[in-house]
Copies of this chain bind each other. A is one copy, B any other.
Amino acid sequence: MTSTNVERTVFIVSDGTGITAETFSHSVLSQFEEAQFRSTRLPFIDSREKVEEAVAKINRCAQDTGKPPLVFSTLVNPDMAALLKDANGIFLDLFGTFVKPLEEALGMKSSHSIGRSHGSGTSQKYRNRIEAINFSLSHDDGQYVHGLDKADVILVGVSRCGKTPTSLYLAMQYAIKVANFPLIPEDFERGTLPATLAPFRKKLFGLSILPERLSEVRNERRPNSKYSTLEQCRYEVAEAERLMRIESIPFVSTTTRSIEEISTKVLQEVGLEAHIY
């Protein structure tokens, strides 16, 4: 355990954006709780010259810090990957490691073409993402009720329970059109769903939250307001959950979940498991 509390440099080297590799490296490295990491992403490394520059950076870092940095690579081109491997670093080949067994399993060669992962900015799949983002933005917080029939999902819940980030994430990541609609004290007094939503019952999905957490979140926005009191939050959450139960709207708690976790729960529950191929 000699390396404890020593910062280790991490390079993410990619011929594309490197974002997936960065997120992946973050996930793997979070397993080493005692270590500290400083991560640098080197994107668009798509020529021999750029690989050589990356190698020089890695070597300089190894010299400056006295330790070979960790190098997560998603270089698709085997020659460029081989160049990078010669740098003074711990080479972790995210791409090459899996391409060979996949070639064997599929009985075909990979194309070794660069930067195909997010699709080009003009593909139909890409246009669908942009359209979903625009839809989710314009149907945020019940601000626009036309076109709700085109929504894939309509999230409902009390103000500040996490509807907006979840809607935008689902649109951005999965091209799913997600509207969201607040449940407010008037709805609880009336004891029914907003009339606007009645025709779309099957698309509704609820988010809930612990009142204590909701009160914290609201207090950050509007300190010392009635809206942010624990009492008001308890009332709204209890009434919203009661209404969702009466109306048979499934719901999940957002309290300790990240946007990714909430979004995954929503997809699971509404059976909209996305097939991204």
Q: Out of B31, B111, B137, B168, name the residue touching A76 (CB < 8 Å).
A: B31
Query: Measured between C-beta atoms, what is the minimum distance from A62 to chain B in Å?
Result: 12
Q: Does A95 contact B (CB under 8 A)?
A: yes
Q: In whole angstroms, what is the CA distance A132 to B210 when docked?
A: 23
Q: In whole angstroms, what is the CA distance A66 to B137 when docked?
A: 44
Q: In whole angstroms, what is the CA distance A101 to B93 when docked?
A: 11
Render A3-14 as a binary contact track against B, CB cut-off 8 A, 1 for contact: 110001010000
Query: Measured between C-beta atoms, what is the minimum distance from A2 to chain B in Å?
Result: 5
Q: Out of B90, B107, B273, name the residue touching A101 (CB < 8 Å).
A: B90
Q: Does A121 contact B (CB under 8 A)?
A: yes
Render A190-212 as a binary contact track against B, CB cut-off 8 A, 1 for contact: 00000000000000000000000
Interface stretch (choices A17-25, A53-61, A145-153, A177-185): A17-25
Q: Out of B1, B108, B120, name the residue touching A1 (CB < 8 Å).
A: B108
Chain A: residues with Cβ within 8 Å of the partner, total of 92
Q: Is the CB of B28 within 8 A of A99?
A: yes
> Residue of B at shortest CB range from A70?
B105
Q: Is the CB of B119 within 8 A of A137?
A: no
Query: Measured between C-beta atoms, what is the minimum distance from A275 to chain B in Å?
Result: 6
Given A20-B27, A26-B277, A172-B172, A32:B111 Cβ within 8 A: yes
CB pairs A–B below 8 angstroms (28 shown): A1-B107, A8-B106, A10-B277, A16-B27, A16-B260, A17-B258, A17-B263, A21-B24, A23-B23, A24-B94, A29-B102, A29-B277, A30-B117, A31-B99, A31-B111, A35-B108, A39-B276, A41-B274, A68-B105, A94-B98, A118-B260, A121-B256, A121-B262, A126-B258, A130-B165, A134-B164, A169-B172, A172-B172
